[in-house]
Amino acid sequence: MQHKTNTANVNNTLNLSLFISRRYLFAKKSHNVINLISLVSAGGVAVGSLALVVALSVFNGLDDLIKSLYNALAPDLKITAVEGKVFTTQSVDFQQIKTLSGVAFYSEALEENALLRYRDKQHIATVRGVDSVFLRRSGIAQSIVEGEARVQRGELNTAIVGKVVAMTLELRPQFFDPLWVYFPRRGQNLHAINPATAFNREHLRPAGVFSIEMDTDSRYVFVPLPVVQRLLGYEHGEVSSVELYLAPAANEQSVKREVQRTLGADFRVQTKAEQNEVLFRMMQGEKWAVFFILFFVLLVASFNSIGSLTMLIIEKKKDVGTLRSLGADSRLVRRIFVQEGLMISLLGCVAGVAMGLLLCWAQIQFKLIKLSDSFVINAYPVRVQLTDILLILAAVMLIGYVAASIPARYLLKKV
């Protein structure tokens, strides 16, 4: 019974303080400057909240875009050797991996830097030997801008070339000139009189040109896996990586642990995120750096509410005396003015978030802010994330509470 009485008293006190603080907020003040400062304070919070919503949503969109670009060629799981560049898959362990639950497709790859020659042009690139699984499961087919995604046409070996490589070599798939690939012979020193003897070479027919992002487009050329193995002097089954594509319902981390357990400590198993870990961490770091910069902008804007509440407390000096005469304790009086400060911050935050969401929607629907024609998309990407909105609300309420507590705590002692 006593507990219910105490709970009722607390609720009544909260309702009373909320009622009075709401009246103070919307009632006309004797000095119009107080209304003006309150409006400026709410406006500053609104602008800061709007900026946070837009900035974080754009970073989310850019993060998705960059992940999609860098993950276009990345498998779900990538296996490489901890030591050395090449390893053999002719073992029982790798045969077991193919049958693991969750593994839908198994692919092998071998890559090495090589000299490319097309007509009278030369270029150094990374030549990557791939199999048919890679062509079917990776995003290379969707990235073709000219020609087709194939590394073999009947008995003819073909190549898929990055857009920047193709531009450097002035290569077009429609032309019939061969693309020559030169690999240094292992253990062979360069001969001063006849340097060509230090290289293995083979010509391929350019089949297609792909475009994903600048770094990939300027580095890679995809050719049949047996061609690279033969030119480098490796046996069948000697590769630089094994790539696994998982079933839609498979748990990535569970399959990774099972693969690692099967292969042991001599091999490294990486997820898509881990294959580009530095890039993704940098993107997240930039996003949070922007958040904290705008957070301090909100903090500065909230100083206006300190001035507004200070002047309101001075104006309501007689009301405070009346409330105390009626039995109100210091906590109730302080809560009234703290709640008013929170209301100012909340109104500004809600208005800012609403305008920010409206701007994000307009950008998604109408592509208002464009990018250059040379970029992979024509407008800034945007993705609104609920956790960002909740974080903004929490940050604004924290700042509002601190800003309101300062004058309420110290000035009321003197009133």
CA–CA dist 300, 44 (Å, integer): 9
Confidence of residue 25 (pLDDT cuts 50, 70, 90): low
- Contacts of residue 364, defined as CB under 8 A and 6 or more positions apart, other chains included, come to 382
- pLDDT at residue 191 tops 70: no
Give pLDDT tens digits for 76-118: 999 999 999 999 999 889 999 999 999 999 999 999 999 999 9
Please state, in angstroms and rounded to a whole number, the distance separating the CA atoms of residues 161 and 179: 10
- Which amino acid type is present at position 267? F
397: pLDDT strictly greater than 60: yes
- Amino acid 248: pLDDT: 94
Q: What is d(CA 365, CA 359) in angstroms, rounded to the nearest whole number?
A: 10
Residue range 136-158, pLDDT digits in tens: 999 999 999 999 999 999 999 99
**Under 8 Å CB-to-CB from 158, ≥6 apart: which residues?**
150, 151, 152, 204, 205, 206, 207, 223
Question: Cα dist. 322→196, 258, 333 in Å?
Answer: 101, 73, 11
Predicted structure pTM score: 0.81
Per-residue model confidence (pLDDT) at position 194: 55
Closest of 110, 137, 74 to residue 221, by C-alpha = 110
3 state DSSP class of 160: strand
Tokens for 330?
């210091």
**What is the rounded distance in angstroms from the CA atom of residue 186 to the CA atom of residue 240?**
16
Cα–Cα distance for residue pair 334/408, rounded to 1 Å: 5
- pLDDT given at position 14: 62
Check the CA dihedral 337-342-347-351 and report its sign. positive
Phi, psi (rounded to 5 degrees) for 224: -60, 140
Choose between 333 and 132: higher pLDDT. 132
Q: Name residues whose C-beta falls within 8 Å of residue 162's C-beta, 6 or more positions apart in sequence.
A: 125, 209, 210, 211, 212, 216, 217, 218, 219, 220, 221
Q: Per the structure block, which two tokens stand in for 194? A: 């006849």
Q: How many H-runs (helices) and E-runs (strands) does the chain carry?
A: 14, 13
Backbone angles phi, psi at 183, to 5 degrees: -115, 135
* Predicted pLDDT of residue 100: 96
Q: How far apart are CA 362 and CA 124, in angstroms?
A: 45
For residue 370, the SS3 value is strand
- pLDDT score for 301: 80
CA neighbor of 362 nearest in space, from 386, 379, 340: 379
CA pair distance 8, 246, nearest whole angstrom: 58
Point out which residues pair with 269 in neighbouring strands. Answer: 79
> What pLDDT does 319 receive?
75
CA distances from 414 to 133, 312, 338, 386, 408 (A): 78, 14, 17, 43, 10
The sign of the CA dihedral 182, 185, 186, 189 is negative
pLDDT in tens, 335-380: 887 888 888 899 999 999 999 999 999 999 999 999 877 677 889 9
Is the predicted pLDDT of residue 5 greater than 50, yes or no?
A: no
**Where is average pLDDT lowest: 230-244, 247-261, 278-292, 296-310?**
296-310
Rounded to the nearest integer, the mean pLDDT of the chain is: 87
Q: How many CB atoms lie within 10 A of CB 363?
A: 19
Sorted by sequence, the CB contacts under 8 Å of residue 176 that are 6+ apart come out as 205
Query: Which has more confidence, 324 or 81?
Result: 81
User: What's the mean pLDDT in 25-53?
Assistant: 77
